[in-house]
Structure 1
Amino acid sequence: MDIFDRLKQAAAADWNRYVDHDFVRQMGAGTLAQPAFRKYLVQDYLFLIQFARSWALAAYKSRTLADIRAAQAGLAAILDETELHVRLCQRWGLSPEDLAATPEHQATVAYTRFVLDCGAAGDLLDLHVALAPCVIGYAEIGRNLTLNGIEALADHPYRDWIGEYAGEGYQGVANAARAHLDDLASRAMTERRFEELAKLFAQASRLEADFWQMGLDTR
């Protein structure tokens, strides 16, 4: 069992509320209301801007060239991910300028600043544990929503989003992040510290669930 599986096991209830949230289930079933998805997507674009800063912080926190390269790869993946959001939002007549001008929802601020604070106050392992529910969790959600393969989605209304995270490219990003997290843990984690990291992981998972709920919230 690698460190990611141990963290998931320690925070099982919070993790399951995140990856099996009603927003995710509705999206998988194709019944999610378009305004809910659009609200989520715009906020996720803003979310990714802050996560790009987190990967830049990871490079600064790194002490080896390998860790810096891992941060560079994570940052590149985030920037590529924003292109999906721009493309989908253009279907509703929303330009990149419209997205950038949208105020951040409190759920967006809560999780992204939590991650940045973990990185600023802690070390590289703290930062990657805080990032893991998003980076690796979306890959798990993508797989869960494509048990019969991406092609089986046919004309599913959220095929593009699901296919992005279930696809080989993003799955590779998540697998690399998982392997890097395990390597960091082998260098910097003690069993006593694991308890602290599990609390951090659980909090990040709760904030992810809150982010889904923000999409469903009509206020």
Structure 2
Amino acid sequence: MKISDALRQKADYIWHRILNHPFVIELYQGTLPIEKFKFYVLQDYNYLVGLTRTLTIIASKSDFDLMRKILKLAQEEASTELVNYERLLEELGLTIEDAIKEEPSPTNYAYMNFMNLTAFLGTPYEGLATIMPCFWSYMEIARHHEKLLETNENSLYVNWAEVYLSKEYIELVENLKELLDKTNNTEFHRLESVFERASKYEYMFWDMAYKMERWPI
């Protein structure tokens, strides 16, 4: 079994909860209150900035071949994904200034710190294991709930979801899995711990967005 598949299998109990989270279900059904989606988008924009920082840390610790691939991904995140989010913000009646001013929630702040610290202190492959659940689970969510989009009357939600069913996105995920599979088997135990915790943060991110989590003080 490939390392990526073994990691996914170990975290299956978490991913099952992700797939069935009410935010995810309602989003794909088209019934999610728009205010919850707006909150999610503002938080996710900040998360993507943190993710881009994590990618640059991973690249700085990698050999040339891995560094080149990771920097390419970081560039795509900064120039494509974040630009797409600016369009999404506009559709929601929000601005990039709104996203910049949005304070990351406690869960979002902890998640970003976890990624950055793991990438800084760990191996490049431990860094990759922190970002994999995000990329991979979005693809799996889209595949799992694809049929719900057929009756989803909210075109904004449908357009958002279809990105994760695109050929380009699937290729991105598969390329990341291939990179992770190149690690040494002796690292598996550390990767397992990191991947599992990142998966838990993914679940917590959806839960945070559904509850529109704020700092209590």
Q: Give yes or no for TM over 0.5.
A: yes
Distance 2:147 2:125 in 1: 32
What CA distance in whole angstroms lies between the structure 1 residues aligned with 2:121 and 2:18? 25
Does structure 2 conserve the Cα–Cα contact (< 8 Å) formed by 1:119 and 1:127? yes
Which residue of the partner structure matches residue 12 of structure 1? 12
5 Å-filtered alignment, 1:51-62, equals 51-62=51-62
Amino acid at match of 2:210: L
In structure 1, distance between residues paired with 2:34 and 2:18: 20
Whole-angstrom distance in 2 between the partners of 1:29 and 1:68: 39
Contact persistence 1:42–1:85 (CA under 8 A): no
Aligned length: 211
Specify the alignment match of 1:67 in structure 2. 66
Measured against aligned partners, the alpha-carbon deviations of 1:160-184 in whole angstroms (never above 9, x if no partner) come to 210111111211111111111112x
Shift of the alpha carbon at 1:156?
3.5
2:2 matched to which residue of 1?
A: 2
Kindly state the Cα deviation for residue 77 of structure 1 after the two structures are TM-superposed.
Answer: 2.9
The answer to whether the aligner puts 1:41 opposite 2:37 as a matched pair is no
1:54 positional shift: 0.8
Gaps of 5+ in 1: none
Change (3 A) 1:85 1:66: same
- The amino acid that maps onto 1:66 is D
- Match of 1:201? 195
- Contact 1:153 1:159 (8 Å CA) reproduced: no
Query: Which deviates more from structure 2 when the two are superposed, residues 135-144 or residues 27-36?
Result: 135-144
What is the distance in 2 between the residues matched to 1:62 and 1:3? 19
Q: Taking structure 2 as the reference length, what is the TM-score of the superposition?
A: 0.90
Q: Structure 1: how far apart are the matches of 2:103 and 2:192?
A: 31
**How far off is 1:143 after superposition?**
2.0
Question: Is 2:139 aligned against 1:124?
Answer: no
Closer, same or farther: CA 94–125 of 1 in aligned 2, 3 Å: same
| Paired residue type of 1:22 | P
- 1:11-52, Cα deviation, whole Å (9 max, x unpaired): 221222223322111111111111111101110000000100
TM-score with structure 1 setting the length: 0.89
Tell me what 2:179 maps to.
180
Q: CA deviation at 1:203?
A: 0.9
1:214 aligns to what?
208
* Identical counterparts, % of pairs: 27
Residues 163, 169 of structure 2: 8 Å contact kept = yes
**Superposed counterparts of 1:83-162, under 5 Å:** 83-147=83-147, 152=150, 155-157=153-155, 158-162=157-161
User: For 1:11 and 1:102, how far apart are their aligned partners in 2?
Assistant: 31
Q: Per-residue CA shift, 1:77-118, capped at 9, x if unaligned?
A: 322112222111112321111211111111111111101111
**Within 1, Cα distance between the matches of 2:161 and 2:61?**
32
Alpha-carbon distance between aligned partners in 2 of 1:194 and 1:31, rounded to the nearest angstrom: 40
Query: What are the superposed Cα offsets for residues 116-141 of structure 1, whole Å, 9 maximum, x if unpaired?
Result: 11111101011001111012221222
Distance 1:3 1:89, change over 3 A: same
Q: Which runs of 5+ in 2 are unaligned?
A: none
